[in-house]
Structure 1
Amino acid sequence: MKYPVAIEPGDERRAFGVVVPDLPGCFSAGDTLDEAIDNAREAIDLWLETVIDGGGPVPDARPFAEHYNDPEFAGWIWAVVEIDLSGTVGKSSV
């Protein structure tokens, strides 16, 4: 499954902030853009594991264009993070 992530640009004093719009409350950061994307993957994994362990549904990712055109994320960098759910899907009915 692929999730779009919005990355707020960082600089020498601020980390790159990451938000996963399809997973409420799922966020992360990194000192570099690459680190921010790697940390986003870890945050998504943990978010999904928590939801699945609790018996909740795994949200589908909305079309990328919906997020890209959202004014809340104007000027942010976009990336797509691929998540392998094969190890967690069997834990609950999704």
Structure 2
Amino acid sequence: MTYYVAIVEEEQGRALGVWFPDLPGCVSAGDTLDEAMLNAQEALELWAEAMLENGQNIPSPRSLTELKGDAEIARDLERYMVALIPFPDSLRSRAAE
């Protein structure tokens, strides 16, 4: 199974924001952590479907170690929670084409 790292930003009094360092423009949110994780999974699927329908490639996921080596991402990895969101099985074969 393929997983993408998601950064979960939590600030008091606000919804939890979720974004994927390897998937530009793929963002989500939720009022609770459970809701944010479910919404992140849905956002990943919808984002990937749109990319594939437009003939664009899905970037390969980087490992947490690789992301820590990216100066633009490393700071957020220190400040916020990290989650692994599975890439939908239903899209895996289409993404590999």
Aligned to 1:89: 93
TM-score (norm 2): 0.81
Structure-to-structure mapping, 1:22-37, within 5 angstroms? 22-37=22-37
* Distance (Å, rounded) in 1 between the aligned partners of 2:82 and 2:90: 25
Q: Which amino acid aligns with 1:32?
A: T
Q: Report the Cα offset of residue 67 of structure 1.
A: 2.7
* Distance (Å, rounded) in 1 between the aligned partners of 2:43 and 2:10: 18
CA change 1:33–1:68 in 2 (3 A) is farther
Q: Report the Cα offset of residue 58 of structure 1.
A: 1.4
Q: Report the Cα offset of residue 66 of structure 1.
A: 2.8
* Distance (Å, rounded) in 2 between the aligned partners of 1:56 and 1:46: 14
Structure 1: runs of 5 or more not aligned: none
Number of aligned residue pairs: 92
* Distance (Å, rounded) in 1 between the aligned partners of 2:79 and 2:31: 18
**Over aligned residues, Cα RMSD in angstroms?**
2.0
SS in 2 for 1:74: helix
Structure-to-structure mapping, 1:39-78, within 5 angstroms? 39-68=39-68, 70-78=74-82
Q: Which amino acid aligns with 2:64?
A: F
Q: Report the Cα offset of residue 52 of structure 1.
A: 0.4
2:13 aligned with 1:9? no
* Distance (Å, rounded) in 1 between the aligned partners of 2:33 and 2:43: 15
TM-score (norm 1): 0.84
* Distance (Å, rounded) in 2 between the aligned partners of 1:62 and 1:87: 18
Aligned to 2:84: 80
Of Structure 1 and Structure 2, the greater helix share is in 2
Q: Which runs of 4+ in 1 moved over 6 A?
A: none
